[in-house]
């Protein structure tokens, strides 16, 4: 119980300091730290990540940054396809799941280490028009122009996010944020707020789906979740005091180390 609390607080601190993407450490903490299987760890990790994301999503809604129609569409498709990921998670060997998760961590670390190129873009409320994207904000209303192309793009993103969430027990922010940057003209504040809402919704759906598949969260899981929420709250208090680049490099380095260890365990 003490170990679950410790890992939960540490994971929560990472969540609070780095954002929802830090939740990718939840599964390794449970698998490597507590000796759980991937299928046992996934719903607990989703619950912890979703709780943290919900806090940020509520704050984004208060400030009018969340593209809630887009978030609801993505989450709805995620709800349809998340059970597909859960089904395959119960069919695939544990070693394959660990290797897939390790590769995912490497991809997240690479994105963290790569310096982003800053471009002039529109405001979060659509007062500028630049470069034709799949989903564009209307300059008059500040909302998405819901063309067939835009709807299909966001629906496809939701489907992919749902499958990955159900399969590996992650919220999907590592997919949603770069996809929104590439395919929409929403600025980063709006992207992050919308991503947090999607993560919280898809995480909740994934947890419910896991329950239907017969997975239960035991006392250790509940302790881990509660401790992670406490750690996340503490991390948010210190987030502004640590340089963003230092956080990115530190988090990416931890991801690479954990991914390497998980691969060795899987193939060893």
Domain regions of the chain by residue span: 2-113+121-267
The burial of 181, by beta-carbon neighbours within 10 Å (0-12 exposed, 13-18 middle, 19 or more buried), is given as middle
Tell me the two tokens of residue 166.
Answer: 């159900």
The alpha carbon dihedral of 209, 85, 186, 130 has a sign of negative
Q: Write down the pLDDT at residue 127.
A: 41
Q: Write down the pLDDT at residue 22.
A: 60
How far is the C-alpha of 108 from the C-alpha of 174, rounded, in Å? 7
Whole-Å CA distances, 268 to 34, 155, 262: 19, 39, 10
Give the number of other Cβ atoms within 10 Å of residue 61's Cβ. 15
Q: Write down the pLDDT at residue 131.
A: 47
Q: Write down the pLDDT at residue 159.
A: 94
Q: Write down the pLDDT at residue 132.
A: 62
How far is the C-alpha of 236 from the C-alpha of 193, rounded, in Å? 15
How far is the C-alpha of 50 from the C-alpha of 67, rounded, in Å? 18
Beta bridge partners of 137: 144
pLDDT tens-place values along the chain, 268 residues long: 788 888 888 877 776 666 555 667 888 888 888 888 887 888 888 888 787 778 778 888 888 888 999 999 999 998 899 889 988 988 999 899 999 999 988 988 887 787 554 444 444 444 434 446 888 888 777 788 889 999 999 999 999 988 998 888 777 777 888 888 888 888 878 888 888 888 888 888 777 877 777 777 888 888 988 888 888 778 767 766 777 778 778 888 888 998 998 898 888 7
């Amino acid at each position: 119980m003490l170990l679950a609390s410790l890992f939960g607080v540490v994971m929560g601190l990472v969540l609070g300091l780095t954002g929802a993407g830090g939740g990718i450490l939840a599964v390794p903490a449970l698998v490597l730290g507590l000796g759980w299987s991937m299928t046992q760890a996934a719903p607990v990790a989703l619950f912890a990540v979703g709780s943290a994301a919900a806090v940020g999503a509520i704050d984004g809604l208060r400030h009018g940054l969340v593209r809630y129609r887009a978030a609801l569409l993505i989450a709805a498709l995620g709800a349809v396809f998340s059970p597909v990921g859960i089904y395959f998670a119960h069919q695939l060997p544990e070693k394959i799941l660990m290797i897939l998760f390790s590769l995912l961590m490497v991809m997240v670390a690479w994105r963290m280490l790569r310096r982003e190129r800053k471009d002039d873009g529109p405001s979060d409320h659509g007062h500028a028009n630049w470069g034709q994207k799949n989903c564009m904000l209307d300059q008059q209303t500040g909302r998405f122009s819901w063309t067939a192309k835009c709807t299909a793009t966001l629906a496809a993103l939701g489907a992919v996010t749902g499958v990955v969430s159900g399969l590996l027990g992650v919220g999907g922010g590592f997919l949603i944020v770069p996809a929104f940057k590439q395919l929409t003209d929403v600025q980063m504040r709006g992207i992050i707020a919308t991503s947090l809402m999607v993560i919280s919704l898809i995480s909740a759906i994934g947890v419910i789906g896991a329950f239907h598949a017969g997975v239960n969260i035991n006392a250790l899981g509940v302790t881990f979740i509660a401790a992670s929420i406490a750690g996340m709250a503490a991390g948010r208090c210190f987030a502004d005091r640590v340089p963003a680049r230092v956080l990115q490099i530190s988090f990416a380095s931890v991801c690479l180390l954990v991914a390497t260890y998980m691969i060795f365990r899987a193939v060893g």
